């Protein structure tokens, strides 16, 4: 398994919030839902995404925007249009004064807006829970990812547009999987773009030395790797591997492995009821005590404290 496959293997939408928005200007939505991740695809017209404290980005037909929370932002027809609607956690929408708008702006199955023939049409998919998106993926992304429509094969957007308005049996599961596929396809294209602000490990994936080393670590993170054993597998000296790995990835091989193991442990603690001993052995620690020591040293709290916090 390569590093990107390992990273993108995490999205698992479960009853994701899915919506087709149809809007005539002027319109402006203040997003305060604190969702860990949201995917927006412009089907028709245009939209501005204006993060709090960030640069505004204009989206056109076929463009994809991926926002990672809990940051707040505005989506509007123009940078000059003041917010009219607030989107709260769970997809609840109100006026600026808290008056509910879900029914007054409903336009049909998973369709919402101020016009049945909206000048701007967007498809929106939101992951509600952090357990649906691995922390490793969230950590690899900036607050706003924008993928131009001409940078990838965006036929998935068309397919999602057909499916999002259906109310057939099992439709929620269909839409969950389509959202996962759209996210994964978009991010794969975004990571691969020339000049993309991709993580060091992604840029190093094609290196003849560091690429195979990364794949070995991701294939079997529980193996008792050392720099020497990793160097032997890749056919270079320990010094050469350490120097090249550090230059391209930004940290030493064993530090990268520790981060990988602890990220996987955190995902397991959040998403499963596995015992700490089972988690420890799964990610390459000899026992629960060894995992706890490393986890607290790096993350500042014990695995049990972490599990209690994310499940609260």
Supply 21's token pair. 């928005």
pLDDT tens digit sequence for 80-104: 999 999 999 888 999 999 999 988 9
pLDDT at residue 10 greater than cutoff 90: no
Single pTM value for the model:
0.78
Distances (CA, A) of 27 to 73, 79, 119, 225: 14, 10, 11, 55
pLDDT value at residue 12? 77
pLDDT value at residue 132? 53
pLDDT at residue 194 greater than cutoff 90: no
pLDDT tens digit sequence for 277-290: 999 999 999 999 99
Predicted confidence band at 199 (pLDDT cuts at 50, 70, 90)? confident
3-class state of residue 282 by DSSP: helix
* 127 in Cβ contact with 33 (< 8 Å): no
Closest CA to 281 of 296, 293, 291, 273: 291
Burial of 194 (0-12, 13-18, 19+ CB in 10 A): exposed
d(CA 15, CA 28): 26
Closest CA to 9 of 189, 296, 290, 218: 218
Q: Which one has a higher pLDDT value, 4 or 216?
A: 216
What is the pLDDT averaged over residues 185-214? Answer: 82
Name the percent of the chain in helix, strand, coil, to the closest 5: 45, 20, 35
pLDDT value at residue 268? 87
d(CA 279, CA 274): 6
Q: Which one has a higher pLDDT value, 195 or 164?
A: 164
pLDDT tens digit sequence for 214-235: 989 988 999 999 999 999 999 9
């Amino acid at each position: 398994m390569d590093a990107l496959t390992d990273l993108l293997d995490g999205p698992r939408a479960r009853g994701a919030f899915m919506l087709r928005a149809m809007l005539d200007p002027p319109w402006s939505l203040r997003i305060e839902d604190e969702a860990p991740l949201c995917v927006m695809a412009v089907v028709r017209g245009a939209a501005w995404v204006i993060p709090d404290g960030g640069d505004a980005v204009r989206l056109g037909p076929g463009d994809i925007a991926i926002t990672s929370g809990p940051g707040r932002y505005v989506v509007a027809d123009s940078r000059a249009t003041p917010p009219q609607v607030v989107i709260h956690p769970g997809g609840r929408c109100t006026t600026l004064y808290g008056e509910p708008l879900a029914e007054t702006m409903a336009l049909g199955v998973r369709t919402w807006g101020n016009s049945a023939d909206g000048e701007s049409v967007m498809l929106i998919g939101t992951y509600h829970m952090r357990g649906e998106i691995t922390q490793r993926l969230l950590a690899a992304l900036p607050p706003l990812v924008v993928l131009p429509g001409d940078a990838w094969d965006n036929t998935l957007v068309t397919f999602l547009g057909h499916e999002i308005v259906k109310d057939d049996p099992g439709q929620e599961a269909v839409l969950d999987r389509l959202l996962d596929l759209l996210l994964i396809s978009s991010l794969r294209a975004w990571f691969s773009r020339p000049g993309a602000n991709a993580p060091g490990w992604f840029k190093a994936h094609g290196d003849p030395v560091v690429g195979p080393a990364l794949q070995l670590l991701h294939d079997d993170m529980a193996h008792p790797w050392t720099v020497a054993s990793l160097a032997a597998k890749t056919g270079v000296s320990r010094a050469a591997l350490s120097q090249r790995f550090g230059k391209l990835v930004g940290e030493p091989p064993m530090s990268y492995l520790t981060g990988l193991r602890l990220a996987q442990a955190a995902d397991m603690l959040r998403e499963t009821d596995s015992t700490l001993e089972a988690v420890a052995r799964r990610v390459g620690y000899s026992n629960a005590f060894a995992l706890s020591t490393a986890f607290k040293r790096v993350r500042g709290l014990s695995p049990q404290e972490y599990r209690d916090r994310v499940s609260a």
